[in-house]
Structure 1
């Protein structure tokens, strides 16, 4: 009778794959606004570095957390240096980290101005360079210069009697956005992008628009429409699908630029008739696929949402009213001191308020709104920077 072969001897069970799977689950849950945790883990050992530098882990990490975190914000500051023969005037962009993320490269870019940021990209106005615009990816370190067409130049500057008008007096508004079709905007790094440029004629009676494509490296034909107002060069832009929105200067209206249909139209912002003291209503950005507007009537912050239907009709809804007295220090709201909404971080529900005591954030997504002072300066326009940083793409950042 044949004897069956003995079963093969099993070696000791390896726990290494199980341990790596466990660490992967732990790393997935590290907060995205704290890249320092991922970077420190990556230098812990070779196995952890392999997990964190894996593109598949990066995709899983972004899907797990869904909304890109706010890593910080930009603001511009105008400088005047007194000289014996003349005063030197220039703009400088400043980056303030709100996370364990420090940006080393843009603090000394004289005559750069921050225009917009979206989908991990930042758009600067750079008239001191050969190109008037530069688009930067802060995670990868990539920069691309954009030269405007001659038609663009007609809506870009306020001309005056000296040679500094290109540096000081930009009068257009712009938006930078991902150019991929059906993108979820969780990882737009290295992909195509577009820059929409909107401006007015010198009399503020006609609106103009054109869009630049990084794929063709060309601007579209300039389109125009009657608009009895001047497009604001200081307000925020917003993007919903294929449409770009920018505010006007003298009233609460916004201009809609449909890039797909190459069409311009004007939309009036909401107004509360029962409150005649209501100040200017500011376009903040996009929340839940709708335009978000804000105004402050001390001691309250008012928020509205706007949604446009496919037929072109517009629906307004007052989203919420937030009492500021328990959120801001008492001196900020005394003697009718001015409080303005000056920025909004899309996806994470953080709104920026300029006060006489500096810059504060209000977290709208927390169960009970929370405030935090993030800067001592009075800043009139805040441009948040939103992006994931996992180490799978880009350079190692300087951490706090």
Structure 2
């Protein structure tokens, strides 16, 4: 530390060294930095500095949950549903999903501030940055076998930031190393998966797995440790190890009573110990399990003995006429699960048990809700490197 800094007698908010440190403590909400920039030109100069933006992300590490991208097909008006309250609420029109009349993209998920879309007709996977509009398109792996006219092919794809630098904070990952995983199920009995790494620009080998039971309707995946996990309607979980690039199947809990076709009733979770968990909806109750090692070192499902009674959490008389509820999505970082009811769509924070309506609608919604988290500043001129829109093809 310089002697001039040690001898500074200016008030903290006027000290050129202390002011940036103080502003770093502002909450990472969209309105924080723009509101601070209105105080004076000096504050505007600090929060507009790209280096400050990098430090801000690194200090907070975890970006806020801005909202959910709703739906499956872009051609059916894919929407962004904001979840923050004013003044942090982001207009739904701010994140416009790439689309034109000649292309048909399926929106499959978000992670680390990026979204992933699939076009089966063009045989391309797209990584899209909702804030900058940047696109990175990747041709599907060679040897990929599918027929767009076969309706019993289920697809999912995941994007993962592969930046392993110490202190890296997700939220500006588009220009860094990425991993993409494509998984598809054909004929209900055979699953395939393949890993793409942007560092090499290559897809790995296509791996496969057979099942004697029907693999019906694969749901969006979650990241647990070094593995991606997708749940089937039967309650079984398909696991892809990012290191070994192998597929495996985990049976459902033996005491779960999960039906063969429990679409929308089963959701994989990531527990606080970074283990695989499972939530099952039954009669307005969420039953929870976690994968743990027993005394013999065998990993198995263990009931958490923590049933969540949903009727006690929702508004009064919500289920007077129709006691139907399904899961639409899950955010592995904030442990928020999305639930659809006849009274709208709600997000439930499983730790605090706080519940919030995020979408008003008449009747049950069946769209997937993909959580989107990122550092975002409302307004131009003050930002965390919002960048320019563009497209990159590979």
TM superposition score category, shorter chain reference: 0.7 to 0.9
Higher relative contact order (CA 8 A, sep 6+): 2
The alpha carbon displacement at 1:20 in A equals 4.8
Please give the secondary structure, in 2, of the residue aligned with 1:334: coil
Quote the Cα distance in structure 2 between the aligned partners of 1:263 and 1:126: 24
Kindly tell me the number of residue pairs found equivalent between the two proteins: 361
Q: 2:319 aligns with which of 333, 339, 349?
A: 333
Please give the secondary structure, in 2, of the residue aligned with 1:39: helix
Quote the Cα distance in structure 2 between the aligned partners of 1:127 and 1:321: 40
Q: 1:27 aligns with which of 23, 28, 33?
A: 23
The alpha carbon displacement at 1:238 in A equals 1.5
Match of 1:268 in 2: 251
Q: 2:149 aligns with which of 141, 148, 159?
A: 159
Match of 1:73 in 2: 68
- The yes-or-no answer on 1:315 pairing with 2:308 is no
Deviations 1:58-99 (A, max 9, x none): 4543454443210110111669xxxxxxxxxx4332111113
Q: 1:120 aligns with which of 90, 113, 126?
A: 113
Contact map agreement 1:172 1:200 (CA 8 A) in 2: yes
Q: 2:182 aligns with which of 197, 200, 211?
A: 197
**351-360 or 222-231, which deviates more:** 222-231
Match of 2:236 in 1: 253
Quote the Cα distance in structure 2 between the aligned partners of 1:234 and 1:336: 27
- The yes-or-no answer on 1:219 pairing with 2:203 is yes
Quote the Cα distance in structure 1 between the aligned partners of 2:216 and 2:40: 52
The alpha carbon displacement at 1:171 in A equals 1.9
Contact map agreement 1:232 1:246 (CA 8 A) in 2: no
TM-score normalized by structure 1? 0.77
Q: 1:180 aligns with which of 148, 158, 163?
A: 163
Contact map agreement 2:335 2:351 (CA 8 A) in 1: yes
Contact map agreement 1:229 1:248 (CA 8 A) in 2: no
Quote the Cα distance in structure 1 between the aligned partners of 2:72 and 2:208: 32
Contact map agreement 1:256 1:264 (CA 8 A) in 2: yes
Deviations 1:27-77 (A, max 9, x none): 334332x31221232354332233223455445434544432101101116
Quote the Cα distance in structure 1 between the aligned partners of 2:341 and 2:269: 20
**12-21 or 34-43, which deviates more:** 12-21
- The yes-or-no answer on 1:294 pairing with 2:286 is no
Q: How has the CA–CA distance of structure 1 residues 312 and 134 changed in structure 2, closer, same or farther, with 3 Å as cutoff?
A: farther
In structure 1, the gaps of 5 or more residues are 1-10, 80-89
Q: How has the CA–CA distance of structure 1 residues 107 and 222 changed in structure 2, closer, same or farther, with 3 Å as cutoff?
A: closer
Alpha-carbon RMSD across the aligned residues, in angstroms, is: 3.5
Contact map agreement 2:235 2:260 (CA 8 A) in 1: no
Match of 1:85 in 2: none
Q: Which has the larger radius of gyration?
A: 1
Match of 1:386 in 2: 373
TM-score normalized by structure 2? 0.78
- The yes-or-no answer on 1:352 pairing with 2:338 is yes
Q: How has the CA–CA distance of structure 1 residues 183 and 138 changed in structure 2, closer, same or farther, with 3 Å as cutoff?
A: farther
Quote the Cα distance in structure 2 between the aligned partners of 1:209 and 1:183: 29
- The yes-or-no answer on 1:134 pairing with 2:117 is no
The alpha carbon displacement at 1:372 in A equals 1.2
Please give the secondary structure, in 2, of the residue aligned with 1:303: strand
**230-239 or 352-361, which deviates more:** 230-239
The alpha carbon displacement at 1:373 in A equals 0.9
The alpha carbon displacement at 1:272 in A equals 3.0
The correspondence of residues 90-129 of structure 1 with structure 2, limited to 5 A, is 90-99=75-84, 100=88, 101-102=90-91, 104-107=94-97, 109=99, 111-127=104-120
In structure 2, the gaps of 5 or more residues are 1-6, 378-382, 390-394
Quote the Cα distance in structure 2 between the aligned partners of 1:120 and 1:170: 28
- The yes-or-no answer on 1:304 pairing with 2:289 is yes
Deviations 1:175-226 (A, max 9, x none): 1111223666623522111111112233x32221111112222211111122
Deviations 1:157-183 (A, max 9, x none): 5525xxxx7xxx762222111122366
Quote the Cα distance in structure 2 between the aligned partners of 1:177 and 1:316: 27
Q: How has the CA–CA distance of structure 1 residues 323 and 120 changed in structure 2, closer, same or farther, with 3 Å as cutoff?
A: same
Quote the Cα distance in structure 2 between the aligned partners of 1:312 and 1:93: 46
Please give the secondary structure, in 1, of the residue aligned with 2:351: coil
Please give the secondary structure, in 2, of the residue aligned with 1:151: coil
